[in-house]
Amino acid sequence: MILVNSMMKWTAEVETWMDSKKRRVMLIGLDGATFDLIKPWAKEGKLSNLNKLLSGGVSGKLTAPWLPITAPLWISMLCGKNPGKHGIYDFSRVEKGYETVPVTIADADSEMGYDLLSDAGKKVILINVPTTYPAQPVNGIMISGMPAPQLDENAVYPKEMLAELREQKYAILPEEVYEGENEEKIVAELDRLIDAHARVSVKLAKEKDWDFFFTVFFATDIVGHWFWKHMDATHPLHCERDAKFGGVIEHVYSKIDAAIGELIQCADENTLIMVVSDHGMGPLYKDVFINNWLMEKGYLKLKRNVLTRTKKVLHDRGATLENAYKLAQKTGVAKVTAGTSASSERLRQFILKNFFISFADVDWNKTRAFSATNFGPIFINLKGREKNGIVEQRDYDSLCREIID
């Protein structure tokens, strides 16, 4: 989605427009926001500032790349290229050896819009834009967004700003993780997160010199994932006990709408204001586990040793990682193993390795395709590219077509 008071192409056209006067661009991101909620709530007077932008400017649905994933889409927003051209498809990537590692801005094969503006002498401020870790040297300020591991010197440019951000109690993500029965704590965390983000964004917009200002509110995405079932009475996971949390999504949108109003006050008549989202949001009714399907179809093969065969039997009887996590939430074990200590990490790795099927159980010498990273992309076990690749280059396209069909 996009709300603007003018429309123009990125890079050269924006730069020319900015040079015509002391023109500025304010870009406000709402991660995971959807017109399905914004438009009716704005019409009802619940989102007054977004309503002003809707009624006084133009709006429409962005033609986004096919994958509705935060990490690559904000990079596309920054560079104007689709994931096939900038090279980021997910929150993690597969290294040779079948290990997955988190992506960083260094994985993007593209010059960014903020680089072009910085090189042209324009002052830029970027706050909480996902996948901008580590913070890059720009002509201005950059505060990395998720999945930055923490607010540290690598997440802030210039580094001297870190002390000020800590004083403002700024945070990248909530400290509390949704566990099924801690909604009140989550709401308090989201309020704290939005307040801190708004406080820092407005302060920088008011006090710093800038030509391009880009801040992203991530709470709209978090609340959509965690609270949609409470809002939607038709959702299969909706229960009356949690009906009191049905208004939390609206509450979060309303708080961010108020923050948008404060940011608009920092703009003048020569400022182009845009509100954008990377993807929408809606109910989730089921999960699809791609590797299970690949096993069923014979593309992914498991080892035949005793440990792997035992884990496969447990898996077939419902002992999946997802079910185990649900049990851990109910029993409180999730809280015990959620720590960051070395002992907690060793315990997690021991449980994963010895009780659940993992890539350590895959027979790579017989596996033609596998799924890795977060959102189900399928990788071909290509000879010469993967550590134990078996698929010849000449068979790559035909195997892709076979799996797609």
Of 97-111, 152-166, 253-267, the poorest mean pLDDT is in: 97-111
Q: What is the CATH number of domain 2-276?
A: 3.40.720.10
pTM of the model: 0.86
Q: Which two tokens stand for residue 261?
A: 């109003």
Residue 321: the pLDDT is 59
Q: Would you kindly state where each structural domain of the chain is located, as residue ranges?
A: 2-276, 290-404
Tell me the C-alpha distance between 210 and 215, whole Å: 13
Confidence bin at 324 (pLDDT 50/70/90): low
pLDDT at 339 over 50: no
- In the numeric block, the tokens 């920088």 are attached to 204
The pLDDT tens digits for 262-301 are 999 999 999 999 999 999 999 998 888 899 999 999 999 9
Of 16-30, 102-116, 252-266, the poorest mean pLDDT is in: 16-30
DSSP single-letter state for residue 272: E
Category of 32 on φ-ψ map: left (φ > 0), alpha (ψ -120 to 50) or beta:
left
Range 394-405 average pLDDT: 97
Contact in structure between 149 and 134 (CB atoms under 8 Å) = no
Strand 378-380 to strand 369-371: parallel, antiparallel, or no bridges (unpaired)?
Answer: antiparallel
The residues, ordered by sequence, that sit 6+ positions from 396 with a Cβ below 8 Å of its Cβ are 380, 382
Annotate 343-352 with b (16+ C-beta within 10 A) or e (fewer).
Answer: eeeeeeeeee
Range 214-218 average pLDDT: 98
**For residue 142, which amino acid is it?**
M
Contact in structure between 41 and 30 (CB atoms under 8 Å) = no
Residue 373: the pLDDT is 79
| Average pLDDT in the chain | 88
Residue 127: the pLDDT is 99
What percent of the chain shows pLDDT beyond 70?
A: 85
The pLDDT tens digits for 140-193 are 999 999 999 889 999 999 999 999 999 999 999 998 777 777 899 999 999 999
The Cβ of residue 384 has, within 10 Å, a number of other Cβ atoms equal to: 8
Q: Closest by alpha carbon to 379, among 263, 294, 272? A: 294
